[in-house]
Chain A
Amino acid sequence: MTVLLTRPPAEQALRQQPRSLGDLFLSFSWLALQGFGGVLAVAQRELVEKKRWLSREEFIEEWAVAQIMPGPNVINMAIMLGGHHFGWRGAVAAVAGMLTLPLLMILLLALLYGSVSQHPAVQGALRGMGVVAAGLITANGLKLIPGLQANVLGRAICAALGLSCLVAVAWLRLPLAAVLLGLGTLGMGLAYRRLQA
């Protein structure tokens, strides 16, 4: 069995690319500025649904690499995406976009902090945003499930691995490194065998 890597024409036509270094910088700036409580919550929507720089399948695969490497996963994603399109300059532009404006904003916030931090309404608002951001991340995971349809492992194994990871991390609270190493190695071994024939 050979797995075809070409995509249906309809999807190819929809695919977009970052136009320039400036485009990368601005797009990642906008992405980061929407990311209250972490950028992960908006990454999928911006990069897959709005910008169409990645298909769902590609997003999952890039995410897997970004997650397994050291460093913040959203920054790793920016480095890889920028790097694919414009080499090291693309990686720098994407990371600079991700960090510059948010850094300025957070330093301003640090200056203001203290005068408002003790106010219960402020504490409540922060908690409320944290709760919503958590929901957005869960939704991102749910939205990516259709991206597994073309996976070489097949539905049953995908479901087993995904659910095992969910239980291990959310319920049993096992260390992330151990979970990724265990389930990841298992999945990779199975995928390697299936890709053979």
Chain B
Amino acid sequence: MIPIEMGAADWLQMLLHFATLSLLGVGGAITTLPDMHRYLVDQQSWLSDTQFNASVALAQAAPGPNILFVALMGWHVGLNAGAGPLSLMGALLALLGTMLPSSLLVYAAGQWSHRNRERRIIRAFKQGLAPTVVGLLVATGIVLAAASAGSDQTWLAWVMAGVATVLMWRTRLHVLWLLAAGALAGAFWLR
């Protein structure tokens, strides 16, 4: 924890920074992570490096959308500024800033494209993009597996990812069982 002073103007600045990044995060907010680090850690010194990394890691471990890592960044800023209700406010402000601009845009675009879904341009847009998106899903899984596989017991991590893929693809086993098995195997063999 690093003690800091946060006035109303600072909170507003934080909100605006997240709001600016909101519209730049094509392909997920994770792509704006480097800029968040530059601003929160290097420029403003509102967060320590450890807190920044912990925010991302905790969000990966918890259930729910990964975007919640920005809430944890706000939470940690609030913690540094004096904890208590400030932490909660920090979390909510960070989340609000990140979510609002992109959500309004997506809502407008979603409603418009749904109303015009029979138009040739919209159908070409969706159908033309479809095969790329399917390829992207497969690729995303591989990239994430490579990231989680890390440097030791790599072969075991890949085997686990492969088994999970086949079980999910070919059986109706519930995902929670697969995740629990992964956690258990990891606790014993990936430590």
Chain A residues with CB under 8 Å of chain B are: 3, 5, 32-42, 45, 57, 60-61, 63-76, 79-80, 83-84, 87-88, 91, 95, 98-99, 101-103, 105-107, 109-110, 113, 117, 120-145, 147-148, 151-153, 157-159, 161-166, 168-170, 173, 176-177, 179-180, 183-184, 186-192, 195-196
Residue B65 lies at the interface, judged by CB distance under 8 Å to chain A: yes
20 contacts between A and B (CB under 8 A): A32-B63, A39-B65, A65-B126, A66-B106, A70-B105, A71-B28, A71-B29, A75-B67, A80-B110, A87-B111, A102-B62, A102-B63, A110-B75, A121-B188, A121-B191, A132-B161, A134-B143, A135-B165, A180-B27, A191-B125
Most buried by A among B88, B141, B161: B141
Q: What are the 7 A-B residue pairs with the smallest beta carbon separation, nearest first? A: A128-B186, A102-B64, A138-B141, A135-B164, A71-B102, A132-B182, A141-B137
Complex formed: what's the CA distance from A159 to B118 in Å?
25
Contact of A127 among B66, B175, B190 (CB under 8 A): B190
Knowing A135-B165, A137-B141, A165-B132, say if A79 contacts B103 (CB, 8 Å): yes
Nearest A residue to B91, CB-CB: A107
Q: Contact at B68–A106, with CB atoms within 8 Å?
A: yes
Q: How large is the interface on B (under 10, 10 to 19, 20 to 34, 35 or more residues)?
A: 35 or more
Chain B residues with CB under 8 Å of chain A are: 22-29, 31, 54, 57-68, 71-72, 75-76, 88, 91, 95, 99, 101-103, 105-107, 109-111, 113-114, 118, 120-121, 123-145, 147-150, 157, 160-169, 175-176, 178-179, 181-191
